[in-house]
Structure formats: C-alpha cells, structure tokens
C-alpha cells in the first residue's frame, strides 16, 4: 500500500524546519547506506548525533502521533528516529531497496523496516527533479509532494530519487516496524477502518457498526505482534 498523507507538518513547522536545516552541518549521505545502496547514493545527510536532527525528528514524531490517517495505515510498533537529507547540484539516489533491519544508533534496539517514509520539507517549485520513484506490485509511482506532506510505502519497494538539477530538495526519511508485518493484512485493516469511520459520519452508531468495529479489533488482535 502506498499512501500520501497531507499536512503532517503545519506551514509554521515547515518554516521552522527549513530555518534549522539551512544552518545545519551536513555530511556524506552514505553514513546510513548499506553496501548496495552506497554504490548509487549521492546526497547530503545530517549526522546521527545532530542536535537539530533530533529536535526536528521529535517534532515530526509528535505530529505523526496525532495523525489518525497515519496511525490507521501504519499501525506503528517501533519507529526509527527521523533522518534528514539534502539533494542539490545534480545529486541523486539510484534504484535500491532499503535494509530489512535497522539498529537505532547508540542503542541495542533493532527495527524491522516494514514501511518507509519520506516527509517533504522543500516545496515542489523550489527545486527541479528530485522525484521519489517507487516500483512495486502497484506499478511505478512518481511522488513529489508539497512541503509538510508525507508518503508512506512498503520498504520492500524498489525506489530511487531522480537528480536534482536546480535548487535544493530537503526531506526527512525514516522507517517503522508495524504491529502487523504483512502489507496485505495492513491494507485490509486500513480499508475496514476507513469504511467504519465513513459509516459513523453518515449514521449514528448502530449494532452493525459496533459489530464491524468488533471484527476489526478481532482481526487486529489476531494479526498484531507487539
């Protein structure tokens, strides 16, 4: 399932993030690349110990915790702390697949990367190129969202970032381990949750809605791993 989640960050939060990232110290993006990815990765990244990165990452995680669409689709169990990258001057990231397991720096915590996320911080008209291109069973998708918007997609997808030929593309990227590992099962639960919410907006609670809600939670109880 690929899902675009609008306005995760407010305009004021986007402005704050840009101001902080403009004065940040950037380093080679290969600090988080595996062997295969390092062969095609050419960008800049905030170091893992960046105070600016940690502060902005906390802001993003707080915003996501309040986002019902994200919580319904992702069913997050553990989230890797958000990282930040920058593409400029023709930089790009060739076709690759994300590492299956990520260890949170400085901790023993390991996260299975069920879902990948990119939160756009630069507006689309602030740079040329820089599309996130994903290839999976749903076909090829090209994504370039408004600042503050996030795209959520299976970490099993082949994906790439096209060269940024003008301007500067700032974004946050990170991963999560879902309580439901299967993308197919998460999609079923998400569709059911959206349908239940839609019914509640149209009619008052009824025995049928209560029953459907029970089915949802019973499926989640059966499939979830915490």
CATH number at residue 187: 4.10.860
Mean pLDDT of 11-18: 98
List residues forming the annotated binding site for 2-oxoglutarate: 169
Does 76 have pLDDT greater than 80? yes
Alpha helices, DSSP H only, in 23-92? 35-38, 51-65, 68-74
Mean pLDDT of 204-212: 89
List residues forming the annotated binding site for Fe cation: 96, 98, 159
CATH number at residue 14: 2.60.120.620
pLDDT tens-digit profile of 16-52? 999 999 989 999 877 665 556 667 889 999 998 999 9
Q: Clarify whether residues 19 and 49 are in a common domain.
A: yes
Q: Clarify whether residues 121 and 142 are in a common domain.
A: yes
Mean pLDDT of 132-143: 90
How does residue 66 score in pLDDT terms, banded at 50, 70 and 90? very high
Q: Clarify whether residues 11 and 120 are in a common domain.
A: yes
List residues forming the annotated binding site: 96, 98, 159, 169
Cα separation, 3 vs 131, in Å, equals 16
pLDDT score, position 41 = 87
């Amino acid at each position: 399932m690929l899902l675009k989640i609008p306005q995760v960050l407010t305009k004021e939060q986007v402005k704050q993030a840009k101001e902080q990232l403009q004065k940040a110290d950037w380093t080679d993006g290969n600090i988080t690349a595996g062997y295969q990815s390092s062969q095609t990765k050419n960008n800049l990244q905030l170091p893992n110990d960046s105070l600016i990165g940690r502060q902005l990452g906390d802001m993003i995680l707080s915003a996501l915790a309040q986002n019902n669409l994200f919580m319904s689709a992702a069913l997050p169990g553990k989230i890797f702390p958000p990282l930040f990258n920058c593409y400029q001057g023709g930089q790009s990231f060739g076709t690759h697949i994300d590492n299956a397991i990520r260890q949170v720096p400085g901790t023993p915590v390991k996260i299975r990367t069920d879902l990948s996320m990119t939160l756009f911080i630069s507006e689309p008209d602030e740079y040329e190129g820089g599309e996130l291109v994903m290839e999976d069973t749903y076909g090829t998708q090209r994504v370039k969202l408004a600042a503050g918007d996030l795209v959520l997609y299976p970490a099993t997808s082949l994906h790439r970032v096209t060269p940024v030929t003008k301007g500067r593309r700032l974004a946050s990227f990170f991963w999560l381990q879902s309580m439901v590992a299967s993308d197919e099962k998460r999609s079923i639960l998400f569709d059911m949750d959206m349908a239940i919410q839609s019914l509640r907006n149209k009619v008052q609670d009824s025995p049928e809605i209560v029953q459907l809600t029970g089915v949802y939670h019973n499926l989640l109880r059966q499939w979830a791993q915490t």
